[in-house]
Structures are given as C-alpha cells and as structure tokens.
C-alpha cells in the first residue's frame, strides 16, 4: 500500500521569498516520487521526479525537492517565489513493482503569491 | 504531437443520463488511467489499464465502466449519472507497464456537471 500526505492545504508567500511545500509518503517498496503543478483550469504538468538516483532533484522553473528516506519526506522548495508560481501542487507516489505502478496523489497544496 | 486528448471538455448531464468520456493518446504508451478531481481531495484513481486488453479498478470505481478499445484509446462510461459524479475527469498515460519511474502525461480534463 502507498499513500501521500501533503501537510499544508494552502501556503501563502510574498513574491521574492522562499517557497516550501511539504510532502510525506508511505510505501511498502522503494518509491518513485513526483511533483505536479496545476494552474487554474489547466491540466497537470510535471515539475520534477525522484527515481532512486540523486536525492536532490532539480525541476523546471527553479523548483527542487529533496528525498529523505529517514524522514519519508519529499518537500518541494524554490528560493524565490514568482507571481507565475501561483497554482495547485500535487505530490505523487508510485510503486516500483511490476504491476504495481499506480499513481497515488496527495490532496494538493494551493500556493498563493502575495505581490 | 497532441499527447493525451480528452473529449468533451465540458458536459452537463441530467441525473440518470448516460455518457462516455473519450481519451486517446498518440505516444504509444501502454498504461492509461482515469482520475477524478474534487476540491480538497486531490486526484483519485477510478480505473486504470496497465496494457491493451486489461483493466483494473482503482480507488473509486463505483458507477463507472471502462473500455480499452485499443492501445491508443481508453474510454470511461457513466451508465446512470448521479450528482455525486459532478467532477473534473482526467485521463493520463504512461509509457509501459512496470515503468514506475516514468511520469504520467495528462489530458486537459473534462468538466462534468450532473444536475
């Protein structure tokens, strides 16, 4: 079984300040982890993914995430928020086993950027 | 390259009516998925198809049926729509069964309202 918990349903930051979106996961196997972004009334776009290579993963638009197995966390960060970052963000876990590659989504974190 | 295409984009149904949501991908992917998105609940898996000719239930399959018509197409059918099925529906695909480290590609969504 696998699950994802996004610890904050809503995060507000000022433009130019750091962003931290928190994600904890649970998986019976070594997981693959993803962050997706959804802008209003749009589909989902991949930001970055972790697949058991480097624990610090860099994604698009200046985002990065660090996989910490001891803490079962995969938090998303960005050094300096931009107005265009306002969106909903989803942390996603996938099993590694053949036939067990369902994607399980967190409930999402809505990021608001204050001008 | 269209990616994942969903039709229709918007639909209003009366309670008890039936309809089929269509999804097609042109990336030669094996695995396809149907999700529903509701406020505060993230995306929940309805059904998925790990490969052509196979389908499996996800987290919330009740009230839905699916057909994997061929490798490209994966349709979702509501036999007797209910107001609880008002949601945004997303279709997704991934390259191959067992490819847990690969990202899913999403369509733009179908916004369904059942009155």
Residue B107 pLDDT: 94
B90 in contact with A, Cβ within 8 Å: yes
pLDDT, average across residues B72-85 = 97
Q: Is the pLDDT of residue B99 over 80?
A: no
Nearest CA among B28, B76, B97, B5 for reference residue A101: B97
Cβ atoms < 10 Å from Cβ of B6: 22
Residue B44 pLDDT: 94
Tens digits of residue pLDDT in A56-106: 999 999 999 999 999 999 999 999 999 999 999 999 998 766 555 678 899
Q: Which tokens is B94 given?
A: 């991934």
B91 vs A contacts (CB less than 8 Å):
none
Q: Is the pLDDT of residue B98 over 70?
A: no
Answer with the residue of higher pLDDT: B32 or B96: B32
Nearest CA among A94, A3, A5 for reference residue B95: A94
Residue A98 pLDDT: 57
d(CA B58, CA A5): 19
Alpha-carbon torsion B55, B80, B14, B38, what sign? negative
CB contact under 8 A, B40 and A96: no
**Residues ≥6 apart with Cβ < 8 Å to A11:** A19, A20, A21, A109, A110, A111, A112
Residue A99 pLDDT: 56
Tens digits of residue pLDDT in A10-43: 999 999 999 999 999 998 777 889 999 999 888 8
Among A94-108, B26-40, B58-72, the least confident range: A94-108
d(CA A10, CA A69): 25
Q: Which of B103, B105, B110, B111 to probe by mutation at the A interface, max A CB count within 10 Å? A: B103
């Amino acid at each position: 079984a696998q699950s994802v918990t996004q610890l904050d349903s809503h995060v507000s930051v000022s433009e130019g300040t750091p962003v931290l979106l928190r994600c904890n996961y649970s998986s019976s196997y070594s997981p693959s982890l993803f962050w997706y972004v959804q802008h209003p009334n749009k589909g989902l776009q991949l930001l970055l993914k972790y697949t058991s290579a480097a624990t610090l993963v860099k994604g698009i638009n200046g985002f990065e995430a660090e996989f910490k197995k001891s803490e079962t966390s995969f938090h998303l960060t960005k050094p300096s928020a931009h107005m265009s970052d306002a969106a909903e963000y989803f942390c996603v876990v996938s099993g590694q086993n053949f036939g067990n590659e369902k994607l399980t989504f967190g409930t999402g974190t809505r990021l608001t950027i204050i001008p | 390259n269209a990616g994942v295409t969903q039709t229709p984009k918007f639909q209003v149904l009366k309670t008890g009516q039936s309809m089929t949501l269509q999804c097609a991908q042109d990336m030669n992917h094996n695995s396809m998925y149907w999700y529903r998105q509701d406020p505060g609940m993230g995306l929940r898996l309805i059904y998925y198809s790990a490969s052509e000719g196979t389908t499996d239930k996800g987290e919330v399959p009740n009230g839905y049926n699916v057909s994997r018509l061929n490798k490209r197409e994966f349709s979702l059918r509501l036999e007797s729509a209910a107001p609880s099925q008002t949601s945004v529906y997303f279709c997704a695909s991934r390259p191959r069964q067992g490819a847990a480290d690969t990202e899913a590609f999403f369509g733009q969504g179908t916004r369904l309202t059942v009155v």
